[in-house]
Structure 1
Amino acid sequence: MTPLPTDQHAFNYSPWYFWRDAGPEAQSDQIALQQDLSERLGYRFGDQCFVSVLAAVENDDLAFGDRTYVAAGAYLSGSLQAGRDCTINAYAVVRGQIRLGDAVRIGAHTSILGFNHTFSDPDTEVFRQPVWSRGITIGDDVWIGSHVVILDGVTVGDRAVIAAGAIVTKDVPAGAVVGGNPARVMRWRVPQPVPAASDLAAFADRAREQTSALLNRSWDPDSRMFTDRPGAPLTDPARSIRAQCDAVEIADLLLGRAPDQLPVEEQIQRLRAPQDLDLFDGADSYHVLCAGYALDLLGSEFPEPIRFLSTATPQEIAAGLRKLPWDGGAWHGGHIVDGLGTALHWNLRKGEPPQDGVIETLFGWLQLNADPRTGMWGEGAPDTGLLEIVNGFYRASRGTYAQFGRPLPYPERVIDTVLEHVRDARFFAPARQNACNVLDVAHPLWLTRHTGHRTAEVTAVAEKLLHQALGHWTDGAGFGFQTPHPSTRGLAATVPGLQGTEMWLAIIWLLADLTGTSSELGYRPRGVHRPEPAARLIPAALA
């Protein structure tokens, strides 16, 4: 049969037919083209790939898995790594730092742009200003319709679908179907793993039944003290106090009373340490949180106001805040702010307000220095992405805005930042999770839930993390700080203990509340991880 003139470019526009229907000469030419690109430019091709001679392929680096195709009119530049069975259809633009998983299909006239121009200098034309790139990552089995635009910095999860014409400016959850401008989750292609109400109730019942055994496991009768877990040393005073406080929190949460191992008055006296503390010292700052809330649950309090906060001047508070390592060390900065805010709470409860201007200085500094891009404080570190600022935000906001019920400066940006961070597999892959990192996304999402911003995505994240968390409980022992996994077997952080148990119980409540199922647990945190404000700032202090 004589080919029609309109057939001369058929494979260039429908490349998936090439290796089935093209003749030997055409296939030989395609192999030669790929060999030439490999030899001259270092490109790497799997078996039965296809690159149209009508495409513009100008990449600095390119690697294709088996059966990945580029159709006519496509424009490729930058660094592109694609898995198997990917198709870049006619007139698609794929530029910048791009990583495609397996079976990614990109519709015609779609633009995936993993770079952008800066435009910070108004006196320089934009095209003359530097280009920067965060890159775009697209997971496995993703369907991208025609005329879609995906902008730099976006991660698209596995098995997602992006509807034709969508403008994607934020991460797309795995299994989501998104569309619109800007793209929003419309429904789910893949049902999300949602714990049933009966699963939560059964978990809570099992935890309550095992609480006494769990506490006995960490009780050292010789020293009459709790350890984090059997065999943990008691030589570190800060860790020893932490274990006593964790035991108090767990017993209150699950049993509604103090631990049975020690008379309540003896527990109180052990925690009522002298209050000669420096709140810009990390250990002293944490003591105010840990011991303060444990005493509160035991019906007591510190014997005296926190003298550091009683005597500090606004200038001293401002100078101390400025010196904290917000750029690259935002967790430590947030840790100190948490201690300052909690000391303020205990002192106000005793009728001991700080010097005039201290409250305004603390909250004013936080308000002025919150980054409107992220809603948080400081900058991330190159090797840990957003981890430092997200974890630092939890600590700083917990002791101030959350503890006193004050509105956050940029709550929607907080949600955006947390949703971007939680896609980082370095910290949220099942084998990589720990109680600190998960708590530090669960609480900010809970604190900002009233905005209604990206609610479907927030709920999906909460359901996924909750489903994973419930599976980490070890009967008779509780939770380890780090999640157990075959690849982490033997690490001390995965051994169940009081710290991990106390934190994961609070995490599970926060995540369950985000999904509307917390009532099934039959408990609500009342200590350091309490969800509602612990107090209100006195009106005169804000006047």
Structure 2
Amino acid sequence: MTDPEGDDGLFDHCPWLFQEQASPAQRAAQEERQKQLLQAGDVEFGEGCFVAGNAAVYPERLRLGDRSYLAAHTYVTGNVGTGADCSVNPYAVVRGTVTLGSGVRIGAHSSLLGFNHGAAPDLPVHQQPVTSAGIVVGDDVWIGSHVVVVDGVTIGDHCVIGAGAVVTKDLPAWTVAAGNPARRIRDRRDARGAARARGKGLAGQVSAFAEAARAQAADLLGRCRLPEDGRYVDRPGARPTVRAVCDAVEIADLLLGEAPPQLPAAEHVARLRALQDAATGLVPEYGQAPPSAGPAGLPDDGAAVYHVLCVGYALDLLGSSFAHPVHTVRGVTADRLVERLAALPWRDRAWHAGAWVDAWATAAHWNLRLGTEPAAPGAVEALFGWLHTHVDAWTGMWGSPTPDSGRLQMVNGYYRLTRGSFAQFGLPVPYAERVVDTVLDHARDRRFFAPGRENACNVLDVVHPLWLCGRQTDHRGEETRAWAATQLAAALTRWQPGQGFGFGPTPDGSGPGRDPGLQGTEMWLAIVWLLADLLGLADLLGYRPRGIHRPEPALTGPTGERDPGR
């Protein structure tokens, strides 16, 4: 099959990109490819399947479950059936009688050979009868590259088979196996036990950290306050910003349970409320003119967009609220909002798109809290309708990987989008298990998560989706907890006495950097809580986020009922 738009074999070799990137013409070509196979024999395809144009598919019977694919140069014959979410990667061979459960990954150049030749001495090999006991693979199995599985083998649920293994005997569920012949290395569930054991070892460190942070909170806030006018800077030598005072309020609430001690709470409230522009309801940066509304009620980018979050939640922590609704959002109709959502740069700047959705949903949330219309009738419902109908069922996300940064934009945009919409309004996220898969895959990208390369933004944007989806599913829970234990141990070492946390390195040198400051401290305190909560250690911290990173929803449902737990 020749691709009508010449994708140069991208989807054949990377079929997981097809659902999110294929053009209408490419989708039509895939439909034709599957139609030809359906007409050729006893073949059935589930929803969202993909078969590479150069795959050699000549089965007696083939059943491909939902969202499963056969990649480039795969060779499939015999009686083959799969559950949902299975992948047969490039150059893999599946022949004979082979049954796969759901969530099975077969690495490149592997062979599952569900048949055999006789070897009796009275006949040449080519005349020997062919037998087929069949291969059965359970659910949630990862078969690495260059693996051979011979006829008659059963691989239980949740197994992992190391690259180059030759599997000649049955493997019970949860086995991690490698070698020739394959032998059991360990039980995959040992990772959960190791994470729990490590979590118990972290308990003392968590308690000691929390005690030190509370004792030093007033000093780290004081070093970032300008004595001449009482405004805050992110770190000494930086310019004062609106975000800095909001970070100070969040830190004081977490560690001290009160307003920053440098000013009375009422003075903090008065200063923050005075920043809001009465005409638009937006908050500009110090010394800047009020921003224009922009498409669908908010500017395209800039500090004023984030101020919708940080100023609103700082006031909320201080027992107050915005003085005015966010007027620019109140008049946005469902049509205008949907048009704007469709125009956001999801493909290459998913973080930017997700941040805009976060700010718009939060502006609607503040309007509801003030007792006014969040936007024009039906607009908030249209937001969630659009998100549900445009989420990628393969990744559970909005947006696409990019050549230069992999899944970074997509995962970071997911955090911002879901924080302001699904999490803030108390709604379940779609495709939670696929989100966990995508996020854990991203967390292995050493460009961002090798030791010493982590920054607050990237770690937060992984741990929050894992924590949020963990409320709906324990899919790959042991891996999540193992990752959380590693990250928590590393995070606790980053605290600098009397100064707090640094944000961390960024590849382009942007952002606050490694020096300790208010933004890094506010974000890492939330990260530490989320990591600790995944490990059952959050109570040892003595704090629970109540602002931007609060775990509970601020509202329940698009109609705006207040979370009764607040």
Q: Same fold (TM over 0.5)?
A: yes
Query: The residue matched to 1:374 in structure 2 has which SS?
Result: coil
Query: The residue matched to 1:282 in structure 2 has which SS?
Result: coil
Q: d(CA) in 1 for partners of 2:305 and 2:388?
A: 21
Deviations 1:356-391 (A, max 9, x none): 110111110111111000101011111111111110
> How big is the shift at 1:414?
0.7
Which residue type is aligned with residue 481 of structure 1?
A: F
> How big is the shift at 1:274?
1.2
- The partner residue of 2:188 within 167, 178, 185 is 185
Residue 460 (str. 1) matches residue 482 (str. 2): yes
Q: d(CA) in 1 for partners of 2:52 and 2:175?
A: 25
Query: The residue matched to 1:196 in structure 2 has which SS?
Result: helix
Structure 2 counterpart of 1:364? 385
Q: d(CA) in 2 for partners of 1:489 and 1:379?
A: 24
> How big is the shift at 1:491?
9.9
Q: d(CA) in 2 for partners of 1:408 and 1:334?
A: 14
Q: d(CA) in 2 for partners of 1:398 and 1:491?
A: 21
C-alpha spacing 1:123/1:538, structure 2 compared with 1 (3 Å)? closer
- The partner residue of 1:510 within 517, 530, 534 is 530
Q: d(CA) in 1 for partners of 2:362 and 2:204?
A: 36
Structure 2 counterpart of 1:434? 455
> How big is the shift at 1:256?
0.4
Q: d(CA) in 1 for partners of 2:552 and 2:409?
A: 25
For residues 363-402 of structure 1, the aligned pairs below 5 Å read: 363-402=384-423
Q: d(CA) in 1 for partners of 2:188 and 2:408?
A: 25
Structure 1 counterpart of 2:20? none
Identity over aligned pairs, percent: 48
C-alpha spacing 1:189/1:202, structure 2 compared with 1 (3 Å)? closer
Decide which moves more: 275-284 or 210-219. 275-284
For residues 242-391 of structure 1, the aligned pairs below 5 Å read: 242-272=243-273, 273-275=276-278, 276=280, 277=282, 278=293, 279-283=298-302, 284-353=304-373, 354-391=375-412
- The partner residue of 1:151 within 107, 123, 130 is 107
Structure 2 counterpart of 1:139? none
Q: Retained in 2: the 8 A contact 1:119–1:129? A: no
Structure 2 counterpart of 1:519? 539
Residue 201 (str. 1) matches residue 207 (str. 2): yes
Deviations 1:397-455 (A, max 9, x none): 00010001101111111111111111111111121100000001111111111312111
Q: Retained in 1: the 8 A contact 2:88–2:106? A: no
Which residue type is aligned with residue 432 of structure 1?
A: R
Unmatched tracts of structure 1, length 5 or more: 1-95, 98-117, 137-147, 158-162, 173-177, 235-239
> How big is the shift at 1:285?
2.0
C-alpha spacing 1:324/1:291, structure 2 compared with 1 (3 Å)? same
Q: d(CA) in 1 for partners of 2:261 and 2:495?
A: 22
C-alpha spacing 1:169/1:495, structure 2 compared with 1 (3 Å)? farther
Q: Retained in 2: the 8 A contact 1:381–1:388? A: yes
For residues 89-238 of structure 1, the aligned pairs below 5 Å read: 121-123=33-35, 128-129=53-54, 150-151=106-107, 165=155, 180=173, 185-188=188-191, 191=194, 193-194=198-199, 195-234=201-240
- The partner residue of 1:416 within 437, 454, 457 is 437
Deviations 1:88-146 (A, max 9, x none): xxxxxxxx99xxxxxxxxxxxxxxxxxxxx9663145657437559999xxxxxxxxxx
C-alpha spacing 1:503/1:127, structure 2 compared with 1 (3 Å)? closer
Q: Retained in 2: the 8 A contact 1:488–1:494? A: no
Structure 1 counterpart of 2:564? none
C-alpha spacing 1:492/1:401, structure 2 compared with 1 (3 Å)? closer
> How big is the shift at 1:512?
0.4
Query: The residue matched to 2:556 in structure 1 has which SS?
Result: coil
Q: Retained in 2: the 8 A contact 1:280–1:320? A: no
> How big is the shift at 1:165?
4.5
> How big is the shift at 1:197?
1.4
Deviations 1:192-248 (A, max 9, x none): 5545212111100000000011011111112321100000123xxxxx001000000
Q: d(CA) in 2 for partners of 1:362 and 1:191?
A: 42
Deviations 1:500-525 (A, max 9, x none): 00000000000100011100000000
Q: Retained in 2: the 8 A contact 1:404–1:534? A: yes
Residue 537 (str. 1) matches residue 557 (str. 2): yes
Which residue type is aligned with residue 269 of structure 2?
A: I
Structure 2 counterpart of 1:143? none
Q: d(CA) in 2 for partners of 1:149 and 1:392?
A: 27
Q: d(CA) in 2 for partners of 1:406 and 1:350?
A: 21
C-alpha spacing 1:490/1:437, structure 2 compared with 1 (3 Å)? closer
C-alpha spacing 1:179/1:231, structure 2 compared with 1 (3 Å)? farther
Q: d(CA) in 2 for partners of 1:334 and 1:490?
A: 20
> How big is the shift at 1:263?
2.8
Which residue type is aligned with residue 433 of structure 1?
A: E
> How big is the shift at 1:188?
3.8
Query: The residue matched to 2:189 in structure 1 has which SS?
Result: strand
Which residue type is aligned with residue 449 of structure 2?
A: F
Q: Retained in 2: the 8 A contact 1:185–1:457? A: no
> How big is the shift at 1:536?
1.6
C-alpha spacing 1:315/1:152, structure 2 compared with 1 (3 Å)? farther
TM-score (norm. length: structure 1): 0.67
Structure 2 counterpart of 1:110? none
- State the number of aligned residues: 399
C-alpha spacing 1:538/1:381, structure 2 compared with 1 (3 Å)? closer
Q: Retained in 2: the 8 A contact 1:150–1:169? A: no
Deviations 1:66-90 (A, max 9, x none): xxxxxxxxxxxxxxxxxxxxxxxxx
Quote the RMSD (CA, aligned, Å): 3.6
